[in-house]
Each structure stands twice: as structure tokens, then as C-alpha cells.
A and B are shown apart, each in its own frame.
Chain A
Amino acid sequence: MTEPLVFELGQPGRVAGAQLPREDVPVGLTQAMLRRSPPLLPEVSELDVVRHYTRLSQLNFSVDTQYYPLGSCTMKYNPRGCNTFAMLPGFLNRHPLAEEAVSQGFLKCLFELQEMLASVTGMSAFSLTPMAGAQGELTGVAMIRAYHLDRGDIGRTQIIVPDAAHGTNPATATMCGCTVTELRTRPDGDVDIDALRNIVGPETAGIMLTNPSTLGVFERRIGDVAEIVHGAGGLLYYDGANLNAILGKALPGDMGFDVIHVNLHKTFSTPHGGGGPGSGAVGVGDKLEPFLPTPIVGYQDDRFRWVGEADRPKSIGRLSAFMGNAGVLLRAYIYMRMLGREGMERVANYSTLNANYLMAKLEDVGFELAFPGRRASHEFVVTLRRQAKEHNITAMDFAKALLDCGFHAPTAYFPLLVPECLLIEPTETESKETLDGFVAAMAAILADVQADPDRLREAPVAMPVRRLDEVRAARHLDVRYQPDATATDLTVRSPAS
């Protein structure tokens, strides 16, 4: 089952005529300013386009079609109502530079979103402009840097990151001109407090933590972490990747965090869209409020208004051409209003119930837990090190075999410090029957580790393609269609690194 490239479907001169405006001639341009040859775009009919992209969509797994227990990604149901109401014409057609007088409806939604996010995180103020989790992180670390510099404390460039952290944490610290120090995790899943004591010092700018951690456990000694880092003059950054697990149950602000980013595309159910757009709204305590990125939505004299750099001279500045991913923010706003106060806590309750249930059931059928004896947060880690060692069946084989069963694979090989791991996050929107079906599929695969290991190594066999040659993809780089290329051209030389 493959679909030709859209370029291969067309014929020279074929057009989607309903989309063509009438012809015009350019005014005041010379020939030298104009394009010499047409761009390589398809020449197809409207029906060709509709069929082609419908068929391509059908080659995807998605939350709407499959169970997606992807750890650290919170692939919950994306309510259709959120999409419908965020795409009302008044919102879609609003120009980003439309004046405040004709923007009060939109600004009110954003202002209330800022307030609700502050409430569920225990922070005092929010800026909604970061366009993804990673940009939220960049914002957070930049604010920490700005805070220290503003106090004349210029030597603080060290960012501490647990070894279990997302790759974006250390990459962000580097982008902010900081050095990264890794913090060890103990065998029970908590960070090593003694190691932390030895790491901190006069160069410590801050620590980036996810709590519950990416290991699927709550960091029990968070109070000690806060005391040590604050005691050394550093600040605490909360990576909101796992906020779903504690929503309405515990507030990062109460844990001592000074700054947080919230992945609205995880906890607040805006769609992942095949890899974006996301939103990484940032919240801060009082200390960091002057440094928040602009614009922010304010309320004054019965009007909602933009708060810009003129009002916030210490702001780290602007992160996007306008004000971030407004449409994503509206979806999160609608979702939060539909959950309401009590619905927030239910998210944590049922995502945690589902995770602990799934963990208990998988342990029952013979899977090894990476952190036995710990409660699961909204996710947990299974290790297949025994199967890898004894039968040469890897976490990757499990992942691919699950695809054949109609389940999206859990996150594999992350966190990096657990060998042959699967990070499994069921989310609260899945039913007990779905989880039981997943357990049955996992048990069947486990049975095949001994009974029919070749089947697992061959998997997937029921997908549009089988395992792809990634080495070839990198060595014979083919990242665009070249109609005139011959077969030998397509195995292009790899550019020098």
C-alpha cells in the first residue's frame, strides 16, 4: 500500500481551476526581478488533491483511530468541540495587529487562560507566547539568566539537569549560553540528593526538573531539592511535560518552583498535529515576573490590553512575530472551561488510575518494571533487558510488533538510563477495555519471545511499509523529489559533515 508522490499524479497544464484568480500583469516590476522558471509544484485537479491527501491520512496512526500509549507525550483525546470553536470565523479572520478595540473577545479568552494556568500551577503570572515546549524551556532559562544578571550576579551559568531529563533540557541550556551538569538518578528513581549537594555552588543558575519525572515516579524529595538549590542561590525550573499526572492534586508553585512551562498540547489536549503546533506557555513566581516574554494580556480600566516591552523594560523580549500560537491557546482555553475546577483533578485521578492499573496488569503477565515498589504517576517504565539478553528481542521489536496489533508503540529507549525500556502512558481518556486489549497484545508478544521470536524481528508486516533502512536514509540523502534524476542520481553522495 503506497501512494505516489503528488508530483507524479499530475499532467503539465492541469489545474484546479476553481482556485485560480484571473490573470493580471505585474505593475512596476522589471524582468530582472521576476522568477525565471516555475517552481516545482504539482499540476493536478482538485479531486486529485483531495484523494491523494485523504489516502495519505489513512497511512497514519492517530489518537482518533488507534490507542496511543506514548510515554511523556500525553496522547489523550482531542475534543472536536475545541477545534470547532477555535475555528469560528471571528477568531480565524482576526489579524494579529488588529487594534485592542476590535479584539476584546479574543483578549478576554487569553486573559482568562493566563489566570487559569496560574491557578493550576500555583504561579503568579503567565505569558502565553512560547510556541512549543522547547521554546518555553528557552524562555524559562533565559529568564533565570536575566534574573541573575539583573542582580549583578554574573557568574551563574551552570544549569543542572537530571540524567533522566528530556533532550530539550540540556539543548536549551546550551542555547542560553549555559553549561550543563548532569545529576544522577538513584536506583529507586529519585534524584541523588547527596550528589546534588556536591554539584551546586556559586555558579549554579538553576535546575531543570520534571516532576513526576520521566521515569514515571513522583520526586519525593522535591522539598530537599528546592532547599539545596535555593540555598546555593539558584532557581528551580519545572518542565511541565508531566503536569497531567498531578493536575489539581499538587501545585509546582508549592514545591518551590520559580518558573514553569506547560505543554498545552499534552495536559490541555490541543492536538499534536503530526508534530506541532504546540504551545509552551510559561508561568513564574513574583521574582521572575518582570522578565516574562511579551506580549502578555493585561486588564485595566475595564479593558483587556496588550502589555508590551515598554511596560516591561526587563522582559527577555519577544519570541514570535506576533503573540505565539493563538489558535492552540484558544483550544486549551475551551478544554479547560469544559473540564472546570473539578475536572482538573479528575484528569490526574484517572490518568494515574489507568497507569497503575496497566502497570499492575503488565506485571501480572510477566513484564519487568523498572521501578518496582513505586507508584506509577500517569506513566511507568517497563524494561525488556532480560528478553534482550536471553532472546535477543529488543524494545524496538516489541514496539514494531505492537503496530501489527493495531496499537501505537509506547515511547522506546527513553528515558536513556533504563536499558531496553518502554515508557507507557495510557492517559485518562482510555477505557478499561482498551487497556485490557493492550495487555492482551503485550502478553501475546511476550509469549512469542520464546515461541516465535522471528515473528517479532520481522514485525511489522501489516503496515504500509516494513522496517525502514535508516542508515541508507542518512547516507544516501533523498530529501526532495527530483523529476529529472536518474536512479543513480537518487543514491546521491552524502554531503561532507
Chain B
Amino acid sequence: MPFIPHTPSDTVDMLRAIGAKTIDELFDEIPEELQCAGLEAVPEALSELEIGRLMRERAAQDEVGLNFLGAGAYEHHIPAAVWELTTRGEFYSAYTPYQAEASQGTLQVIYEYQTMMASLTGLEVSNASLYDGASALAEAVLMGVRVNQRSRSRRILLPESLHPHYRAVVRTITASQGISVTELPYDRETGRSDLQALDCYAEEDLTALVIAQPNVFGVLEDVDALADWALDHGVLAIGVVNPMAMGLLKPPGDWGHEGVSIACGEGQPLGVPLSSGGPYFGFLTCREALVRQLPGRLVGRTLDVDGKPGFTLTLQAREQHIRRSRATSNICTNQGLMVTASTIFMSLLGPEGLKRVATRCQARAAALAEAAVTVPGVEIAFPEPRFHEVALRLPVPASRVLGGMRESGVLGGVHLKPWYPELGDTILACATETKTDRDIEAYALALQAAIESTGCAA
């Protein structure tokens, strides 16, 4: 019994105390026809030694050399202290902090996190986190619909230049709530949302406009113009941002003349490993006036009976366990452990560190773009300004080039054609602060070799 401590005599004593002869007797309220015959599809148990060996083999199978993939999940240096501290049993194996007196550690971490995220996005209030960036955007959209009372249409404008998976998740989660989604085209030359196309909606009733910074192509949008357009037309603007970029770029709270009221995004860049897409965490921040429409948990500072400061979950009347069918969302959990990691990460970097990492990412991607265009036939799809990704147009079929680069140990980028057929053989490559000059040289060499061998084969 791997984790069950009972000795045979414990079991006998306990059954005697209950007044039962066998453990099976304790299941006598389950109708006989429902008793399970056995689980043939589950294999025999493995010891820790055996499972360790199996997992090492499988993990090793998937290791590759240099990773230049981005598109919503980004490789960054994570200080060793982050996960050393986060996996301390007192954080790792604690429950949701409903018993505040026994959870001051987790609660204070979340309060610190809320402070950092609110400031990073230029807004006043942050919740305790949501599942991931895409689902946070879906919740932000639902919140936007509750908040913008001036609009009756429940119609949302999503930029086509927003990550297609984010658009898909918004559709899945808002599908049954009478919300309609319209997509705002991007300019094929600049890769930015098309401001002229936006003017087509000037006379229409829109509830919210989503603004991505950077967008899926790594291009920086004209966020001031977009936010001001929304402001002028009574449309609620929602910013969806890369939090790492916020160390360098203007935060949503400062966009345009008045800033936007709601911001959200994927927290993964802040200390969470790539780990195949999760667990990550979504963040959601807003103006203080909107706090009662904010979904998810929120931690507040208060006083105990002796007048000593302490932390507790607050405004719980918004939540499902109190309000049931009338809650702001069905969300119950947050991503507590990931928030712990990101709070420690942001503390270690500080304002200077975050700015330097963001700037370095930006400069590294510029270096990558410069190196890539030295390869004959490779062009940059969209001009600057960009953050840390660049879309590269290839002269030969992209999937074969990526396959060739992979053979030489380089994951060269994400093929954009499945998402944007009109872009053809275009790949999206990312360089963060983790990439050295040599890595970038290796990228260009692998790209060139793969293009040449694809060209010869074709």
C-alpha cells in the first residue's frame, strides 16, 4: 500500500469500533448490481524507483536543443529560488485559504501579488488569478458585458491579430450567454489592427473592444489610438497584455487619454515554466469602481479582534459558494501555486530586473530578425515596432523547413498558415533573454541549411 499507513491490526481494531466485520460491509449501501468487477485497463502498481525510471525515459524522449517557439508561451530564465520556495510543502500542499487564521502565508502572498499585478498593468485592483490567459480573457469579456450598461448589444470586437486560441476560448466560454463576437481585421502590411476597418463600426452598438499588446505576430499595436477610439464611441476597452512586456511598455491603465478599465493576460512569463502549456495562470485587473463585477477570489487586508493587521478573502458575496446561480462566475479555484511562483519571481527581479529582461527580449528578437534576413529568400512579414517575436516569410514550404531545423536540434518557430492561411509559408519565431549571440547564429545557420535542402528537394 504505497501511501496508506494501516497495519492489519489497525484495520481489525477500527472495524471493531465501527461494528463491522469486513471493509466490504461498509459499502453495503451501494446496490449490488453497481459493485465494480475490476479495473482491467489499469496496469499493476509501480514502485517509486520504477515510475521514476519510466518518467525519465519519457521526458528524455522529448528534449530538444534550442527553442525559438513563442506564440503565447515563452521561455525565460527562472531564478532557482522561485520553485525551491514554491514547492515548500507549506505552499504546495495547503488548501484554498478559507480558514484565514491558518492561511496567512498564502493570503499575504496573494495580497502582494495583487499589488504587483495592479501596478504592472497600471490599474488599481487585481484578483487572485484565473486559470490561464485565454480563459482570463473570456472572463474579462463577460465582466465587460456586465460593466458596460450603456451598450445593449452584448457584441464584442476581437482583433484577428489576437492569438487564435484566445479567440476560440472566448467563443467556447461565452457561447451560451448571448454574446456575439465580431472580428476586426488586421492590416496585411503592418500586422496591426486595421484602424480604418474599425471606423466601419463607429455607428454600431458595440459592448467591448479587445486590444492585444503585443499581438500574436509579436507586433505592437497602436494601443493609444485603439483605446481612444473605444473611449470616443462608448465602447469598453479590454487590454490583453504580455506581463513581461509591461516592464518596458506602457501599461493598459495609461493607454490613450484615459486608459482602459480592464486588463488581463497570461502570467506564464513571470516565473512559470513552459511545461506543455500549463499549469499557468491568468491575471485580471481593473479600476477600483468595477471591483464588484470582478470574477474570482480577492484578498483584502483587515484587522483581527486584537486590532492586529491580517489578510482574508473578501467580497465573497460575488462568488459561487455564496451566491450560487447568481455568482459573477462559476470559478472556484485560482492558480494559487503559480501565483506564489510569480510573486517570488517579480520580487527577485524588481522594477529594474523586469525592465532589463523585457528590454533584452526586445533587443534579442531584433537581433534574431536581423540574422534571419541574411538567409537568402527570407523576409520579415511585418515591420517594427515589435516585442520579442518576429514573423518570417520563407521562400519554400515552411513545414519542411521547420522539420529540417528540428533535425538539427532547433525548434525554429510556429507555422502561421494553419491559423492564417493568407500568410502562406510564414513562421513566427521568438527570442527571449535566454538566447545568446551564438544561439541566434545557430538559428540562422539551421534556417539556411533547411531552406537549401528543401529548395534542392523541391
Q: Roughly how many angstroms separate A464 CA and B220 CA in the complex, as a whole number?
A: 47
A94 within 8 A of B: yes
Query: Is B212 interfacial (CB 8 A cutoff)?
Result: no
Q: What is the CA–CA distance of A64 and B414 in the complex, to the nearest angstrom?
A: 41
Q: Are A274 and B337 in contact (CB under 8 A)?
A: yes
Is A152 among interface residues, defined by CB-CB distance under 8 A? no
Return chain B residues, CB-CB under 8 Å to A248. 36, 39
Q: Is the CB of A58 within 8 A of B90?
A: yes
Q: Which residue of B lies closest to A61 (CB)?
A: B102
**Does B13 contact A432, Cβ atoms closer than 8 Å?**
yes
Q: Quick one: which of A28, A328, A347, A480 contacts B125, CB cutoff 8 A?
A: A480
Q: CB within 8 A of B333: which of A91, A145, A276, A465?
A: A276
A249–B109 contact, CB under 8 A?
no
Main secondary structure of the interface of A (DSSP, over half): loop
Q: Is B229 an interface residue (CB 8 A)?
A: no
Alpha-carbon separation in the docked complex, A278 to B279 (Å)? 8
- A178 nearest CB neighbor, chain B only: B176
Q: Quote the shortest CB–CB distance from A211 to chain B (angstroms).
A: 10
Least CB distance, A468 to chain B, in whole angstroms: 5
Instruction: List residues of chain B with CB within 8 A of the CB of A408.
Output: 95, 99, 102
Q: How far is the CA of A309 from the CA of B46 in the complex (A)?
A: 35
Inter-subunit contact A53/B109 (CB<8 Å):
yes
Other than A134-B331, A319-B173, give 5 A-B pairs with Cβ distance below 8 A.
A44-B350, A95-B67, A250-B35, A326-B278, A360-B18
Contacts of B15 in A (CB 8 A): 353
Query: Of B152-160, B180-188, B191-199, B292-300, which stretch is located at the interface?
Result: B292-300
With the chains together, A98 CA to B412 CA distance in Å? Answer: 10
**Residues B249 and A16 in contact, CB atoms below 8 Å apart:** no
Specify which chain A residues have a CB less than 8 angstroms from the CB of B251 in the assembled complex.
35, 39
Interface residues on B, range: 35 or more
Report which of B172, B303, B349 forms a contact with A319, defined as CB distance below 8 A.
Answer: B172
A403 to B99, CA, bound (A): 9
The reply to whether B360 and A21 form a contact with Cβ atoms under 8 Å apart is yes
* Number of inter-chain CB pairs below 8 Å: 696
Q: Which residues of B contact A28 (CB under 8 A)?
A: 366, 384-386
How many residues on chain A are close to B (CB under 8 Å)?
207
Interface contact A96-B351, CB-CB below 8 Å? no
Out of A77, A277, A352, A431, which one reaches B23, CB within 8 Å?
A: A352
Partner of B310, one of A94, A344, A465: A465
From A163-171, A282-290, A381-389, the one touching the partner chain is A163-171
22 residue pairs of the A-B complex, CB under 8 angstroms, read: A41-B351, A44-B347, A49-B81, A59-B108, A60-B106, A77-B3, A92-B273, A93-B67, A118-B41, A132-B333, A167-B323, A180-B324, A274-B340, A276-B338, A317-B175, A320-B132, A326-B277, A348-B27, A353-B6, A473-B312, A477-B315, A480-B124
CB of B95 within 8 A of CB of A96, answer no
Q: Mark each residue of chain B from 378 to 412: 1 if its CB lies under 8 Å from any CB of chain A, else 0.
A: 00000011100000000000000011001000010
Contact of A60 among B91, B332, B351 (CB under 8 A): B91
- Beta-carbon contact of A95 and B69 below 8 Å: yes
In whole angstroms, what is the CA distance A105 to B254 when docked? 45
Q: Which of B44, B61, B177 contacts A104 (CB 8 A)?
A: B61
Alpha-carbon distance between A271 and B319 when the two chains are bound, in angstroms: 23
Chain B residue numbers with a CB within 8 Å of A52 are 347
**Is B57 interfacial (CB 8 A cutoff)?**
yes
Kindly list chain B residues whose C-beta atoms are within 8 Å of the C-beta of A470: 302, 312, 314
B114 touches A338 (CB 8 A): no
